[in-house]
Amino acid sequence: MVKEKIFPDNFLWGVATSAFQLEGSPYADWASWDALLDTKPDVTNHYALYKEDLNLLKDLGVNAYRFSLEWSRIQPREHAWDDSAIAHYQEVVDILVKNNIEPIVTLHHFTHPIWFIKKYPWHEAASIEKFLLFIERIVSTLKGIRHWITFNEPYVLILGGYFEGCTPPGIKDVSLGVKALKNILTSHGKAYDIIHSHIPDAKVSVAHNMAALAPWRIWNPLDSLLSRIAKHFYNHSLIDAFLTGTLHIKFPFKKAIEIVVPIKDKLDFFGVNYYTRIHMRFNPFKKMGVELRHRDIDGYGLTDMGWEIHPHGLEKVLRYASKLEVPLIITENGIATHDSEKKIKFMKRHVDVLERCIKDGIDVRGYFYWSLIDNYEWLQGLDARFGLYRVDFDTLKRRPTNAAAYYSYLIKSRDF
């Protein structure tokens, strides 16, 4: 009996990383965020050991690699460009292409040059022009890249940087956050055009973090209301804006906001980052009356970061994203745990859900596990072990986990 082929030809099996989380940068805003950084993020020394790390991709048997460019290395000062940094990333691309590994390049993965965040933070209109100068420089210089992601998780950037103020630029002002979001999405629309002007057949997207959202107490109408509002804002509003050109935002107990953004149909695929389910609880003593909670309902446990493992939620977010009628790529999916067997079960359960979605007609073209090696996690430092390869932060040695071997097996068993 011949096994039915589920995954399409040229399906992208890969892993994902971000530059700052592996290599750090003395010129980045996060590097000066002293309140958070009790550990320097360049602990993996990836910028020097990149060839060794790229060899791990061959060992895994992946055919794609998602990585980001560290803007602050490339443009450390407003009017100064470091051509050696661009050459470094070009060499990374060349190595990948030589090994038949598709490069998926993220242009903005949370970090900024210090000069940018001080003079042109995203709530200022001038931020758009400055970011687009970076885009133009990169796209006109780097060769061999078809897949581009303009922004990683723009909503996470806004929530951390402007709503909670726990990440750069450290502002607690919702109105400025809304302005920043408008400018970021406007930047995507314009960047989309710039990329296509240089590379007509380019594939351009964003990577949108989506979560399964549910009420903490099903019987409580306020919990249910909050979960519906959160689902629309966090998961759906960006997707709807790509369909309509209008960003519709509804916050709890406030007047809805509508913003015209030039992003309608400016997608060639759509990147979905999925990790967990979050429960919403009304709490009048919290900001906007919202309290976020995790609990183990499915019996799969929690991650080391306290996140619920909820594979079924992947199907929910993919079904909604499929409204865009462009190919979908799971640009991140992973678990923070020291337990390799738990990592294997997490991966298997989510890929099983993915397989079911593809069989049901959802057009998913790729799956990227987060992450290749252990790295610096933004608010958790070095304890969040996402890597398929364990890093000894004292010796810098990379050691494969059982999950790395399993991912290799999984790829071969699904790709025949």
* pLDDT tens sequence across 85-114: 999 999 999 999 999 999 999 999 999 999
Q: Which of 1-5, 123-127, 175-179, 365-369 is predicted least confidently?
A: 1-5
- Residue 38: the pLDDT is 54
Instruction: Calculate what percentage of the chain has a pLDDT beyond 90.
Output: 87
Query: Rounded to whole angstroms, how far apart are CA atoms 204 and 18?
Result: 18
DSSP states along 152-214: E-HHHHHIIIIIS--STT----HHHHHHHHHHHHHHHHHHHHHHHHH-TT-EEEEEEEEEEEE
Look at the domain 12-211+302-414 and name its fold. TIM Barrel (3.20.20)
Mean pLDDT of 223-238: 94
Spans of all domains in the chain: 12-211+302-414
- Residue 2: the pLDDT is 47
pTM of the model: 0.96
Is 416 a residue whose pLDDT tops 60? no
Query: Rounded to whole angstroms, how far apart are CA atoms 52 and 45?
Result: 11
Give 403's pLDDT tier (boundaries 50, 70, 90).
Answer: very high
Mean pLDDT of 328-345: 98
- Residue 76: the pLDDT is 97
136 belongs to the catalytic site: no
Radius of gyration (C-alpha) of the chain in whole angstroms: 20
Containing 16, the helix (H) or strand (E) segment is: strand 12-16
Kindly list the distances between the CA atom of residue 266 and the CA atoms of 126, 137, 242, 339, 367, in Å, as whole numbers in the listed order: 22, 21, 7, 40, 22
- Residue 83: the pLDDT is 97
Chain-wide mean pLDDT for the chain? 94
Is 9 a residue whose pLDDT tops 70? yes
Is 247 a residue whose pLDDT tops 60? yes
- Residue 301: the pLDDT is 96
Q: Which of 20-24, 37-41, 141-145, 180-184 is predicted least confidently?
A: 37-41
Per residue in 140-190, pLDDT (tens digit) is 999 999 999 999 999 999 999 999 999 999 999 999 999 999 999 999 999
Among residues 78, 332, 341, 355, the one annotated as catalytic is: 332
Per residue in 269-308, pLDDT (tens digit) is 999 999 999 999 998 888 778 888 899 999 999 999 999 9
Beta strands 102-108 and 389-391, pairing class? unpaired
- Residue 35: the pLDDT is 47
- Residue 316: the pLDDT is 97
